[in-house]
Amino acid sequence: MPADIAQELKETEESAKKLVAEAKSKANGIIEEARVKAEEIIKEAKAKARAQYREIVQQAQAEAEKKAQSIIEQGKKKISSERETYLPKVDRVAALVMEEVMKTYGNN
């Protein structure tokens, strides 16, 4: 009987070793799957963050463009109104200068 017990112990040890090896193999596979999945999640998150960043920048640029256009239009209107104010004065000064030049130098 002791031989049977020794044989049974040996078989049980071998079986346990196989189970431990299988468990380690499965654990390594699970860890690798988790690593791959985590890398994919990180990659997707980075892509989403880049897309959101581009969208925010584009929105800010569009908003800045609108504000710039508004400021430019206001400037043009102001210049136009000031031009209308000063144009008659410039014409009058030009006429006075011409008149003085004509008086001084004549029609020569």
Assigned domain for 86 exists? no
> pLDDT tens digits, residue range 8-20?
889 999 999 999 9
Angstrom distance (rounded) from CA 71 to CA 96: 37
Assigned domain for 91 exists? no
Angstrom distance (rounded) from CA 102 to CA 97: 8
Helix (H, G, I), strand (E, B) or coil at 108: coil
Assigned domain for 36 exists? yes
Full residue range of the structural domain in which residue 4 is found: 1-78
Assigned domain for 61 exists? yes
**What's the number of domains the chain is made of?**
1
Angstrom distance (rounded) from CA 105 to CA 108: 7
> pLDDT tens digits, residue range 33-60?
999 999 999 999 999 999 999 999 999 9
Assigned domain for 99 exists? no
